[in-house]
Structure 1
């Protein structure tokens, strides 16, 4: 299992000035130093307290993870603490803070080159919970390491570091140690959360202190099992009327139900045809327009079934040359995994994610006054903020199905909510529903609509062992971004143990 950078000797630590070293030491001295008093672009009082800063997870390498805590606007002392993780791997969780369930709505200001305006988000998850946004692993968002060898990482190291972060974070905030603790996230967090939960559960069994009061998790449009996830796009595309019945039947016959990986030539021809039919869609929400021209998606669709090393460069690849770095606002659509190494979006086509804009987040988080306000290091030390990182050089994906983790945790009594925006082409709901059903649990709340504002907001099915599957009608890959009102509704009900 070769790992190109892992076998090399670690490079020397980056040198810091004495002033920078002192500043880092002071920044993590106490939570009082993490209080966010104000934020550029926002005028007024926060409805609850905000804290942010770094937690060092490895002293030797200077590996530090950045977090932003928004305390509950309702009852911070009693409400759950919820960890939020965006996907990728390589996506900053400040993406969720800015565009999804954070305390503010970001609007473009009157000055085209200026900072965005921040207004309170009436559907922030902080209405009913304390939310911790964590940039993970090191190299993502504002998190970093002084040792570049740490940018060779993977599922297991990411989970171990996040567990270390949680233990140290609860030491910094002992007032939250008794609160119910949940994990949440989307996309590749479908890998992050089960592997982190496994570390947390093992720590509880070992009686590690502080004891984490772990109660369960909720995952949206999560990467879970390659067979279920990657085989769902053809049936989903047909069910949504995106491809003809003739093409669907031809592909099904040629591929024998397997639409990714090592397939026969006729199957590959049919898959390529399906990809071509879908190439101009916003894969994160087939109902939404593309922010910029979708031409750069062609390479991703073209190379989605076989490793890129098996293919010759075509015209699209020549226009958008491969870059050896990682990325991902979200789990890449059928990106190949070769001997454990994930092939990420920039390697498939270019810097910009298809149909996605991150201009407001970039403008705000790259501003030095903003960085000072949230206690993040300046660009001179850690570089520009990126929605998806260019720093991580190698990510090792174990390739394991996460279904075994879900069976383990639910059998132990932990609660799990698996939800899906039903118009996501990236991780279609049909694959997610299929793996949930594959667990073999007895249905105790049969498939039914759930409502918001007197209207059907989606469908849900409840299983024994505290497992719930839920769809959100009209939502895409990043559910809180597309349906904030409905999301806060099911989130609030589920956290409180009420029927959705």
Structure 2
């Protein structure tokens, strides 16, 4: 089964294999030699820059690549994608599992201080952070019409990026390869995996030459965290999740259920919309344990509007030595709009709002818009492409439909798949992910059980299915799991990559 995945991936790098890959090393002009705000030695080599893909017109896709701090020549290569659609993967680098922790400066405009992150995913893997699609983060084109994208087009151009990336970094072409992401990357990841599969016929002769090695030691796969998957499963999970977590009363649940006729996905009528807004009021949808700050321009210090007592919020406190960032998305949101509707937004009543409440991204914005930082990471200057923002407004066509057929096809052909969910995320509730993974109809090979962290504490729950499918929850984590639970995130990430039981 593992052979199929590796053959699929070889199709995306077969051009590389034909140009003497072992004689070429990573590009020197992409090497990062220093980072403003950080004093000390890098834990591994870091590279960043642009890969130009396509020709009508070309797209300049920005990446940040951190080599593994363990054995870069042998450890997996992981492509990380943040969601939105329209959100930068620098989000993952700065706030989640990058090599550094960022501590805010003393003033709103001063640069943050960087310290090594003991829970970085680069501890056990080579990891590429990619700004995709074009127009997101630092990625740009000289023709802004390319900022109109879709599920399938994003997969095509990310695949093209990988072709170019492995040409530039051929020494990693034989490493195990995985795709990972969160939120709307629940669409990006399986569509990209399918795009890679579609190229398998290109290098059939080369596949035969690699046959023995592939069969014995090349298992590949993908992982998705709190990922958008299917509109009915995702959207219909929200109100029952809120009720189950004790955030609305039985009476309110009965009222909203009646108003929406039990169907929260299609939002039938004004009464349903108003009731859903009432359910959301005062809550941070990305983590129900975190306070909701309604004015993103006000400095967050823990005194914002919050409907939950401090003692309850402490259950979700992060181990990470920096203030947990409160903003993850602008107008873009992980819920799906109907095909062709463009901007993603969770519910009709929120369409008029560009800024989503409970959010602020000062640390990343200050650092990534600093001229010296941009020079250091080889990003285009503000004068050329504008300021970096965590998320941008895209015209986006949701033309891939439900991801369930994608998962069904990929798992049937040998992909190892990990679906993980922070169990306090209201944006894409774990109950919806649990329901759709079960709906695939695979045999349960390891029944629902607790899994323990490296601190020997129950960190969540796991259920394993046949066809190499695993569903995992992380106790007390919000929408961006590694941000809230960095130790536990590194625990399950490293175990799964190594094929160990979680």
Contact 2:259 2:271 (8 Å CA) reproduced = no
Contact 2:256 2:275 (8 Å CA) reproduced = no
Question: What is the distance in 2 between the residues matched to 1:117 and 1:413?
Answer: 43
Contact 1:104 1:119 (8 Å CA) reproduced = yes
Return the match for 1:280 from 248, 272, 282: 282
1:410 partner SS: helix
Residues 306-349 of structure 1, C-alpha deviation per residue, up to 9 Å, x if partnerless? xxxxxxxxxxxxxxxxxxxxx94696265643644334489824
Question: What is the distance in 2 between the residues matched to 1:331 and 1:146?
Answer: 23
Partner residue, 1:221: 226
Return the match for 1:357 from 344, 355, 360: 360
Contact 1:187 1:330 (8 Å CA) reproduced = no
Question: What is the distance in 2 between the residues matched to 1:210 and 1:430?
Answer: 43
- Tell me: CA distance 1:210–1:109, structure 2 relative to 1, closer, same or farther (3 Å): farther
Partner residue, 2:425: 424
Residues 400-424 of structure 1, C-alpha deviation per residue, up to 9 Å, x if partnerless? 1101111111111110000000011
Mean Cα displacement is larger for which, 210-219 or 58-67? 210-219
Residues 36-80 of structure 1, C-alpha deviation per residue, up to 9 Å, x if partnerless? 001000001101000000000124423110000000000000000
Question: What is the distance in 1 between the residues matched to 2:419 and 2:439?
Answer: 14
Contact 1:107 1:118 (8 Å CA) reproduced = yes
1:223 partner SS: coil
What is the deviation of 1:291?
3.7
What is the deviation of 1:30?
6.8
Partner residue, 1:192: 188
Question: What is the distance in 1 between the residues matched to 2:411 and 2:475?
Answer: 26
Mean Cα displacement is larger for which, 209-218 or 114-123? 209-218
- Tell me: CA distance 1:112–1:269, structure 2 relative to 1, closer, same or farther (3 Å): closer
Contact 1:185 1:193 (8 Å CA) reproduced = yes
Question: What is the distance in 2 between the residues matched to 1:60 and 1:458?
Answer: 47
Question: What is the distance in 2 between the residues matched to 1:335 and 1:414?
Answer: 25
Contact 1:89 1:330 (8 Å CA) reproduced = no
2:128 partner SS: strand
Partner residue, 1:89: 85
Contact 1:421 1:476 (8 Å CA) reproduced = yes
The answer to whether 1:366 aligns with 2:359 is: no
What is the deviation of 1:254?
4.8
Partner residue, 2:4: none
What is the deviation of 1:436?
0.3
Task: Note the aligned Cα RMSD (angstroms).
Answer: 2.5
Superposed, 1:285-304 pairs within 5 Å as 285-293=287-295
Mean Cα displacement is larger for which, 38-47 or 212-221? 212-221
Partner residue, 1:319: none
Contact 1:69 1:132 (8 Å CA) reproduced = yes
- Tell me: CA distance 1:344–1:115, structure 2 relative to 1, closer, same or farther (3 Å): same
Partner residue, 1:348: 351
Question: What is the distance in 2 between the residues matched to 1:208 and 1:154?
Answer: 30
Partner residue, 2:134: 138
What is the deviation of 1:245?
1.0
Superposed, 1:98-247 pairs within 5 Å as 98-207=94-203, 215-247=220-252
- Tell me: CA distance 1:74–1:402, structure 2 relative to 1, closer, same or farther (3 Å): same
Under a length normalisation based on structure 1, what TM-score does the superposition of the two structures give? 0.83
1:196 partner SS: helix
What is the deviation of 1:377?
0.6
Partner residue, 2:408: 407
Structure 1: which 5+ residue stretches go unaligned?
A: 1-28, 296-326
Contact 2:83 2:184 (8 Å CA) reproduced = yes
What is the deviation of 1:242?
1.2
Partner residue, 1:491: 493
- Tell me: CA distance 1:37–1:214, structure 2 relative to 1, closer, same or farther (3 Å): farther
What is the deviation of 1:109?
2.1
Question: What is the distance in 2 between the residues matched to 1:389 and 1:78?
Answer: 36
Mean Cα displacement is larger for which, 105-114 or 416-425? 105-114
What is the deviation of 1:470?
0.3
Contact 1:451 1:458 (8 Å CA) reproduced = yes
Contact 1:284 1:477 (8 Å CA) reproduced = yes
Question: What is the distance in 1 between the residues matched to 2:340 and 2:396?
Answer: 11
Question: What is the distance in 2 between the residues matched to 1:125 and 1:292?
Answer: 32
Contact 2:411 2:467 (8 Å CA) reproduced = yes
What is the deviation of 1:208?
8.5
What is the deviation of 1:185?
0.6
- Tell me: CA distance 1:60–1:260, structure 2 relative to 1, closer, same or farther (3 Å): closer
Return the match for 1:467 from 449, 455, 469: 469
Residues 115-143 of structure 1, C-alpha deviation per residue, up to 9 Å, x if partnerless? 11000000000000000000001100000
Question: What is the distance in 2 between the residues matched to 1:443 and 1:331?
Answer: 35
Return the match for 1:383 from 379, 382, 386: 386
What is the deviation of 1:454?
2.2
Question: What is the distance in 2 between the residues matched to 1:354 and 1:377?
Answer: 30
Contact 2:100 2:115 (8 Å CA) reproduced = yes
Contact 2:339 2:399 (8 Å CA) reproduced = no
Partner residue, 1:74: 70
